[in-house]
Chains A and B, each alone.
Chain A
Amino acid sequence: MSASMSAPKTRRLGNVLGLLRPLFDVLTAIVVGLAVGALLMWWFGYDPWKAYAALFRGAFGDKWGRADTLFAAAPLVLTGLTFAIGVRAGLFNIGAQGQMLMGALAAVAVGILPLPPVVHQTVTLGAAMLAGALWGLPAAYLKATRGVHEVISTIMLNWVARWLALYLAVRLLSDPNRAEKTVSVLASTRFSVVIPGSDLTHVVWISVLFALFIYWVLWHTPAGYGLRCTGLNQDASRYAGINPGKSVNLAFILGGMAAGLAGASQIVGRPPLYGMYTDLSTLANLGFDGIAVALLGRNHPIGAIFGALFFGALNTGTHMMQYQALVPLEMVRVVQGVIVLAVAVPELSKIFRVWSLFKGHQTVKK
Chain B
Amino acid sequence: MIPLALVAMGEVLAERAGVVNIGLEGILLISAFTGTVGAFSFHNAWVGMLIGTLTGLLIGYIHGVISLYLKGDQIISGVAINLFAMGFVAFGIIVVWGVHGAFNLPLEDSLKGWTVLLPPATAGGDQRFVGKISVLLPFTFLMAGFIWWVLEKTAFGLRVKAVGENPEAADVAGIRVERVRLIAVLIGAALGGLAGAYLSVDWNGMITKDISAGRGFIALATVVFSKLNPLLTLLGAFVFGLFDNVGLWLSTNAWANRIGLNYFIRMLPYVVTLLVVAGVIGRARFPKAIGQPYRRE
Chain A residues in contact with chain B, CB under 8 A? 40, 44, 92, 94, 138, 142, 146, 148-149, 151-153, 155-157, 159-160, 163-164, 166-167, 170-171, 285, 288, 291-292, 295, 328, 330-338, 340-341, 343-346, 364-366
Contact = CB atoms under 8 A, between A and B. Distances in A.
The prevalent SS among residues of A at the interface is helix
B277 A153 contact: yes
B237 interface: no
Contacts of B263: 163-164, 166-167
Given A163-B266, A288-B86, A146 B80 contact: no
A360 to B, nearest CB: 19
Contact of B80 (A152, A155, A332, A341): A341
A341 B267 contact: no
B87 A334 contact: yes
B270 A156 contact: yes
Interface in B101-140: none
B63 to A, nearest CB: 9
B79 interface: yes
A33 B262 CA distance: 40
Interface residues of B, number: 44
B79 A153 contact: no
A159 B62 CA distance: 27
Contacts, number: 131
B242 to A, nearest CB: 17
Question: Which 10 pairs show the lowest CB-CB distances between chains A and B?
Answer: A333-B87, A337-B84, A330-B91, A167-B263, A341-B80, A340-B80, A330-B90, A337-B83, A334-B87, A159-B270
A152 B264 contact: no
Interface stretch (B46-54, B68-76, B161-169, B193-201): B68-76
Given A152-B221, A337-B85, A160 B80 contact: no
A95 to B, nearest CB: 12
Nearest to A334: B87
A338 B85 CA distance: 10
A166 B76 CA distance: 29
A44 B37 CA distance: 15
A94 B95 CA distance: 30
Contacts of A335: 87
Contacts of A167: 260, 263-264
Contact of A153 (B22, B75, B88, B274): B274
B81 to A, nearest CB: 7
A40 B279 CA distance: 44
Contacts of A40: 91
Nearest to B100: A328
A336 B267 contact: no
B40 interface: no
